Amino acid sequence: MEVALDWYLALSAVMFTIGVLGVLIKRNAIVLLMCVELMLNAVNVALVGFSQTLADPTGQMLVFFSISVAAAEAAIGLAIIIALFRNKRTVNINDINLFKH
Amino acid sequence: MALASFTFFALAIIAVASAVGVLIARSPIYSALSLILNLLCVAGLYLTMNASFIGVIQILVYAGAIMVLVLFVIMLLNLDALPSPRDIGWGPVAGFLFGVVVLMQLLYVILVGFDISLEPATPVMTAETGSAETLGIMLFTEYALHLQVAAILLLAATIGAVMLAQRSFE
């Protein structure tokens, strides 16, 4: 069985859905960030698959920049989590409701 | 070709299994370790697509730098596993249903796309388009401005992270 683009796209869809489920279900802010990384990765797989299939390196440039944006996002997100933890002593997103009051 | 498809399916199964492991692990440290396994499998998948440059970047940046940062923060905060809720509320159920809907939608789009011929390049998935040489030439000519902007973004993120982490509210 030849591994075609469709298999990579199906894998990407499944991984993206697992990431969405994690963001919806998990309560730990750090795990939430990790699930966002999972979704970014799934999209990257689809982009590289298209790029390699169509022999157009532009998609891989987009993946390169998306990885650098993901690095920035992880740094800022973890810094926010550290600041929140100092303030509230928890990372459970059910207990973090600073905007509610 | 049989070996290539075997590699793909083995890596894909490990990737999906470790992605599920991120969800079902109780402790965040096990989630992080599962995610590292997932990222390494995705890097292997890039290599099966002959995208060697992106595969190496994936291992260096994602599985190396970002996950070390995440593990370091987990260590720093010294978290216990959150107590699992005794009663499953409607929240996770609704989340699961929504996730299934998203998956159905994505797979439907892919199935519809089976008919659309994209006219793949011949030979498909060559090592040439994924090599560091091709991408490097593009990066420093056509995308030079984008590269500078990405550098400024990373600088701003570094400064912002330091400011946020050392600041105490009130």
Domain that holds residue B63: 2-82+91-130
Q: Does B13 touch chain A (CB under 8 A)?
A: no
Q: How many domains does chain A have?
A: 1
A74 in Cβ contact with B69 (< 8 Å): yes
Q: For position B119, which CATH number holds? A: 1.20.120.1200
pLDDT tens-digit readout, A42-76: 999 999 998 988 888 899 999 999 999 999 999 99
Residues B15 and B67 in one domain: yes
Report yes or no on A35 lying in a domain. yes
Distance CA A87, CA B152 (A): 30
Task: Give the pLDDT band of residue B87 (cuts 50, 70, 90).
Answer: low
Task: Give the pLDDT band of residue B147 (cuts 50, 70, 90).
Answer: very high
A52 in Cβ contact with B51 (< 8 Å): yes
Q: Which residue has the higher pLDDT, A2 or B110?
A: B110
Of residues A21, A30, A48, A67, the one with CA closest to residue B95 = A21
A42 in Cβ contact with B125 (< 8 Å): no
Report yes or no on A55 lying in a domain. yes
For residue B117, pLDDT over 70 is answered with no
Residues B63 and B135 in one domain: no
| pTM reported for the whole predicted model | 0.86
Residues B103 and B68 in one domain: yes
Mean pLDDT of B47-63: 91
Residues B56 and B117 in one domain: yes
Report yes or no on A54 lying in a domain. yes
For residue B74, pLDDT over 90 is answered with no
Residues B117 and B97 in one domain: yes
Query: A–B: how many Cβ contacts below 8 A?
Result: 235
Q: Does A39 touch chain B (CB under 8 A)?
A: no
Task: Give the pLDDT band of residue B81 (cuts 50, 70, 90).
Answer: low
State which amino acid sits at residue B106: L
Q: For an interface test with A, which of B6, B76, B96, B110 has the most A Cβ atoms less than 10 Å from its Cβ?
A: B110
| Cβ-based contacts of B49 with chain A (< 8 Å) | 8, 48-49, 52
Report yes or no on A64 lying in a domain. yes
Answer yes or no: is the ipTM higher than 0.95: no
Residues B117 and B137 in one domain: no
